[in-house]
Structure 1
């Protein structure tokens, strides 16, 4: 029996979904999201706040502020509420409405930046708004998930160590790439402790995380419009890029089997299954990290009108997967 005294204490789970029956693919899916934040982001959120408190950067009157497209914002809202802190999330119109509503329900202030920066898009505009708030009021503390080493240390100490414990013969690990926290924490851990593990980074088409061609992206979470400072490509063996339409297709295919995952998870599973088709997957022990569950994607990935509006002609097969 596990007993906790606050929402900030429930960080880890050891639930893996064997996808052989559902997708005819030898892949174990580490299902994140079974916590009060609903995603893997609860780990870096808790780690960044705890580290800042330990270093004396956060006091009882501090106001936490962060730029987020959704999941980390919800996670920080959970951690802040559990610790009795105020939290402001600066987001943009691509944020899932459900995520924004969750943050507000948890007591956070949600600031939506409506105009993208001419050079750096919505991400640069969000960062500029955060800096402006911090300049106006010294009580604001920007955790800065994009450069904060606690982002990846959380996954080094927890996520990767848990996977290594459960899979002593692991061959391949698939990890989605957003800020790079999960990817870098896991990659560093296995490079140091088990360098034979093949690290595959899964990114979205349109993201520039690994010098990809920039392009429109509509699903928040994975991918980036500007290179993420935390990412060290030398720690990654391979990069797989997934089209958003294929991520939607995978989400809906899994939902037809009762497994409702988020857009980031659909991207990771889509990339992993395509990679395994091209390799001797029956001889490999492979794990993919599913960052989030699907409830907060009802207005996007699982909404037929939204899918047709954003992906245009040729989307009928996506809709039929349900």
Structure 2
């Protein structure tokens, strides 16, 4: 029987996994989260945050939603806003891909691109400052604040983690990329409460300050932060793996040569997971979460000139 929906928010594929054993030589299942109309896992958190604010009366007809995003959350909130009839303003920066910006604008969103870095040399602090100024100067603007909003992780506590637990009741290790840490915290909280034997491994980008490491320039949007997310609780994380962007590129290219066009966040997570697994028991049951696909990265991760200019050309290219 055909599936029929009346809203784009009703569709999300929850149970598709790629077995990476042939590529990696290890039992690693990759949960694909890009099969929805926003194209990434961020749709879950976007819906949860907006729904909660509607219930609380903080978002009403005529409200303008505002958020800082490097790409995927902006696209997800653009879709949610279009579906529900809200105006949405996204504050992003020069690292945001042109495809993501075009998608937001196609949904009817207003996109502000920050080009001046903050004192750390990154852009997140500048983006947040701009969001605060917009909300201060414009009555009716509401900042969702994915970095501090518990509904960011609640979306994954309610959906992503239970979906994995249902398919893999004997799960040993879960690898989750750390951006705003919404997916990480939602999954970590769920398994700590229901299946505490599951080891939670966070995968972050080198140059991110999330877990207390030194800030450095990062060129690939998605994972990593230059301002520690307020929703992060490190006590729920068992291990952290930091991945160089060159390794992200190498892994993305290895996957695409096998027909899997994934985004930068997925390449980072897979690279970190395989490095962590290289010194562990081969019989572990492991799942890694793939936040998105690679369509938004065709002009960067999969474009030779961009890689060469960025100094990120993979060794095999």
TM-score band (shorter)? over 0.9
- TM-score of the superposed pair, with normalisation by structure 1: 0.96
How far, CA to CA, are the matches of 1:151 and 1:266 in structure 2?
22
Find the counterpart in structure 2 of residue 311 from structure 1: 311
How far, CA to CA, are the matches of 2:9 and 2:134 in structure 1?
26
Residue 86 of structure 2 corresponds to residue 85 of structure 1: yes
Find the counterpart in structure 1 of residue 216 from structure 2: 215
Q: Is the 8 A contact 2:178 2:184 kept in 1?
A: yes
Deviations along 1:114-158, whole A, 9 cap, x unmatched?
211224731111111111111111111110000000000000010
Q: Is the 8 A contact 2:49 2:144 kept in 1?
A: yes
Find the counterpart in structure 2 of residue 106 from structure 1: 107
Deviations along 1:85-119, whole A, 9 cap, x unmatched?
11010001010111001100111110111211224
Displacement of 1:23: 2.7
CA separation of 1:39 and 1:318: change in aligned 2, threshold 3 A: farther
CA separation of 1:164 and 1:316: change in aligned 2, threshold 3 A: closer
Residue 267 of structure 2 corresponds to residue 266 of structure 1: yes
Find the counterpart in structure 2 of residue 175 from structure 1: 176
How far, CA to CA, are the matches of 1:163 and 1:318 in structure 2?
34
The 5 A counterparts of 1:179-198 are 179-198=180-199
State the secondary structure of the residue aligned to 1:247.
helix
Deviations along 1:23-78, whole A, 9 cap, x unmatched?
32210000110000100000000100111111101111001110000000000001
Displacement of 1:12: 4.5
How far, CA to CA, are the matches of 1:69 and 1:162 in structure 2?
26
How far, CA to CA, are the matches of 1:110 and 1:95 in structure 2?
11
Find the counterpart in structure 2 of residue 137 from structure 1: 138
Displacement of 1:22: 2.8
Q: Is the 8 A contact 1:214 1:225 kept in 2?
A: yes
How far, CA to CA, are the matches of 1:60 and 1:120 in structure 2?
38
Gaps of 5+ in 2: none
Q: Is the 8 A contact 1:242 1:271 kept in 2?
A: yes
Displacement of 1:309: 1.2
Find the counterpart in structure 2 of residue 233 from structure 1: 234
- TM-score of the superposed pair, with normalisation by structure 2: 0.97
Q: Which 10-residue stretch deviates more, 187-196 or 226-235? A: 226-235
Gaps of 5+ in 1: none
Deviations along 1:284-315, whole A, 9 cap, x unmatched?
10000000100000111101111111126xx3
Displacement of 1:212: 1.1
Displacement of 1:318: 4.3
Q: Is the 8 A contact 1:11 1:42 kept in 2?
A: no
How far, CA to CA, are the matches of 1:42 and 1:316 in structure 2?
31
How far, CA to CA, are the matches of 1:195 and 1:252 in structure 2?
35
Find the counterpart in structure 2 of residue 290 from structure 1: 290
Q: Is the 8 A contact 1:11 1:43 kept in 2?
A: no
Find the counterpart in structure 2 of residue 206 from structure 1: 207
CA separation of 1:141 and 1:316: change in aligned 2, threshold 3 A: closer
How far, CA to CA, are the matches of 1:316 and 1:237 in structure 2?
30
Deviations along 1:184-219, whole A, 9 cap, x unmatched?
000000000000001000000111111112111000
Q: Is the 8 A contact 1:248 1:318 kept in 2?
A: no
Q: Is the 8 A contact 2:122 2:217 kept in 1?
A: no
How far, CA to CA, are the matches of 2:14 and 2:27 in structure 1?
21
CA separation of 1:318 and 1:299: change in aligned 2, threshold 3 A: farther
